[in-house]
Structure 1
Amino acid sequence: MMRWFKQAWAHQWRLIPGARRGVIMVVLWSLALVVLWQLAWAPGKQRLQQAERAHAQELGLVGYLKSVSTGPSNAQQAVSVLTPAVLNARALAAGLRISGLQTRARQVDVSLEGEPAKLLDWLHALERDGAQLRSLQLQVAGEQLQAQLGLELDEDRAD
């Protein structure tokens, strides 16, 4: 039966005029090349897109790390605006309550209280912005955390 089909196909092929057979062969070879190209191109294109996404994600992480880590120049600029008013505003924005604030020659003493997580985040942000902690005392009072800290200021900011 299979042999009969082959003979029938061969007979039909011979009945097609030579010019048309040539065109059909060119079309079939072109189609085969397009299929092979797609089979080779599609996986490579997928890998390229995955690499681009991974690269974009890494660039985002690099930007985040640069914004989180502060160099000495950034730290000096951030602390230069550290005043009692700024400390009070930052504490209020963080949901903390300042109970005492005293300024001495090159140091600011602050007493504040609030939720432990908020207080620790506030302290971390202060250090990240370049504030130099001279002293720190923490005490738990119920569900609140009380902190007494001394911040050191540069001489040009003591005015």
Structure 2
Amino acid sequence: MKPLRPSERRALWGLAAFVLGTLMVVGVWQPARQNLAQATLRVEQQLELANRLAQAQPVRQTGPQQPLAPFISESAQRANLELQQLDIAGPMLNVAVAGDALAVLAWLQGLEAAGAHLHSLALQPKGALLQARAGVTNRPDR
């Protein structure tokens, strides 16, 4: 193999510099710009959410429109849940239901949406079912 002429050597160095520059742009600069764009978008979304939360007005809930015990019993039956306990303890009802986990959680969310207030809540898996025990009232603590 014979040695390279100076012009060939310069051409190889130029080619190496071009390849290195291309790799830097593709491997470092472009991913950094994409990460910056994604981070900027996430920050804007978080700021928009924070502004919406700051402007949100609390909803005044008055409680279910019917007495609490029949409301709980009927709503549990509509949700295909097994009502295991419904005891009156002063102004609070102690309730225990069991059923499909998603159905139990949706039922609890529905109770709160209707204005019932959960003072205590314990969730426990029972095989394929989820059991929920809760202390429920018609009004918030004051």
TM-score computed with the length of structure 2 as normaliser: 0.54
Larger Cα Rg: Structure 1 or Structure 2?
Answer: 1
In the alignment, structure 1 residue 81 sits paired with structure 2 residue 66: yes
In the alignment, structure 1 residue 71 sits paired with structure 2 residue 53: no
Q: Is the 8 A contact 1:113 1:145 kept in 2?
A: yes
Number of residues of Structure 1 aligned to a counterpart in Structure 2:
84
Q: What are the within-5 Å matches in structure 2 for residues 5-154 of structure 1?
A: 71-72=59-60, 75-76=61-62, 78-154=63-139
Percent identical pairs in the alignment equals 27
Alpha-carbon RMSD across the aligned residues, in angstroms, is: 2.1
Report the alpha carbon displacement of residue 70 of structure 1 after superposing the two structures with TM.
7.9
Q: Is the 8 A contact 1:113 1:144 kept in 2?
A: yes
Unpaired runs of at least 5, structure 1: 1-68
Whole-Å Cα distance in 2 between the matches of residues 129 and 70 of structure 1?
A: 15
Report the alpha carbon displacement of residue 137 of structure 1 after superposing the two structures with TM.
0.3
TM-score computed with the length of structure 1 as normaliser: 0.48
What secondary structure is seen at the aligned counterpart in 2 of 1:79? coil
Whole-Å Cα distance in 2 between the matches of residues 88 and 131 of structure 1?
A: 13
* Higher helix fraction (1 or 2): 1
Q: Is the 8 A contact 1:101 1:109 kept in 2?
A: yes
Report the alpha carbon displacement of residue 152 of structure 1 after superposing the two structures with TM.
2.1
